Copies of this chain bind each other. A is one copy, B any other.
Amino acid sequence: MPHPALPTLTSQLPAGTVVTDPDILAPYRQDRAFDPDAGTPLAVVRPARTEEVQTVLRWATEHRIAVVPRGMGTGLSGGATALDGGIVLSTEKMRDITVDPVTRTAVVQPGLLNAEVKKAVAAHGLWYPPDPSSFEICSIGGNIATNAGGLCCVKYGVTTDYVLGLQVVLADGTAVRLGGPRLKDVAGLSLTKLFVGSEGTLGVITEVTLRLLPAQPTACTVVATFGSVRAACEAVAAVTGKIRPAMLEFMDSAAINAVEDKLKMGLDRTAAAMLVAASDERGSSGAEDAEFMAAVFTEHGAREVFSTSDPDEGEAFVAARRFAIPAVEAKGSLLLEDVGVPLSALADLVAGVEALAAERDLMISVIAHAGDGNTHPLIVFDPADPDMTARAERAFGEIMELAVGLGGTITGEHGVGRLKKPWLADYLGPEAMELNRRIKGALDPDGILNPGTIF
């Protein structure tokens, strides 16, 4: 039984934009958080232009229908979970890009994949740094909506640092241009930055102006294994206090073994921790940094240290690190955490997770963007085992509480979505939560944009 208002929307948009076929709808119900409470939307709407997004939102406001904006659905916090009676607004058809090599900017529609942006700008000798592990399958619009992180953030910062301008469509259908291809612009409030990371709760991003860098120099890579997690974490801080590595990644014993099970690379299965680090400093400085990191790792008791300036060899280790999540996932279903702490608390966080795993009798593998203190504890469980599932869910919350107790955050780069909403108010405190609500109320007074995410 279609919603009585739906034909009005369909008639205002190009043929095929509004989809109600249940088979087509099904994969739009969830993102990669696989929220079991996901609803069934009235329709998936796939606009190709800003004006069509405006039409959708005007209609949604008129009929008080919830709109869930969606990129490629790779989010891990449930921020693109469909609602019963709502619509899903997918940006997948919005795929234009224009690169300006003189201003070193690109104007991009939200549906392009991160990897496609990287490729298009590389054709002009330029580089878009942000590199979430899902870069080959996630959309740039989703990256902006979640202020996505990645591996290179330790040196190059996060998505917001590359967003110079946005076009957004507000809940009432108004299209607004914010910022643009200017490296400095302080005219009015910093609204561009406010929309980055707003998870579809303040507006729908229909165009973005990205800041680009010259092509990244080839990296030198250092891989080290440690007998102790604490020693590895202390080595991380010793590195970042002195130099700016382009990558500084951590895998614990469970992750090393899970990857080795699949890739058979000859990783040391007895190691407690492995670091994969890189420097992309130019000329001989990259090799110097690699040597410095190797020396720091050795001083901190590394058992094996391997350095290479061969990009393919280096990439093999980065790929191993990127492969850790699917490799651990082979052991069972995952609850994927995303807590971050100040770097000085990294060792305590990992130790605390280990203690929790023992206490709750669970396998929890920790991988981390160690250089910026952002960790992904992977809680393995069997959904067919209700007791284990309950223990896993309990551990999921306890890890956030552990991180907050260490001065950390409940989410470093994945976003709050629906999954982490129950912990947000405690983390932010009543004053900051109220401030969030005031902004939300000012921009989306009817609450039609992604209700249940963040708020």
Contacts and interface: CB of A to CB of B under 8 A. Distances in A.
Contact of A340 (B184, B243, B288): B184
A344 B100 contact: yes
A43 B125 CA distance: 57
Given A214-B242, A283-B283, A158 B184 contact: yes
Given A102-B343, A198-B189, A435-B176, A412 B181 contact: no
Nearest to A413: B184
Contacts of A360: none
A1 interface: no
Given A189-B439, A442-B438, A442-B441, A184 B153 contact: yes
B439 A186 contact: no
A147 B341 CA distance: 26
The interface centre, meaning the residue of A343, A372, A429, A443 with most chain B CB atoms within 10 A of its CB, is A343
A416 B187 contact: yes
A188 interface: yes
Given A157-B161, A191-B436, A194-B190, A182 B340 contact: yes
Given A373-B182, A442-B439, A424 B193 contact: no
Copies of this protein, total: 2
A447 to B, nearest CB: 15
A256 interface: no
Contacts of A157: 161
Interface stretch (A11-19, A58-66, A384-392, A402-410): A402-410
Interface residues of A, number: 92
A427 interface: yes
A420 B187 contact: yes
A295 interface: no
Given A104-B241, A189-B439, A189-B440, 15 more contacts: A100-B342, A101-B241, A102-B343, A146-B186, A149-B184, A158-B183, A161-B161, A182-B409, A183-B340, A186-B412, A186-B413, A188-B428, A189-B197, A189-B201, A281-B285
When A and B form their complex, which 5 residue pairs have the shortest distance between CB atoms, in order from nearest? Answer: A193-B193, A442-B442, A183-B372, A184-B412, A282-B285
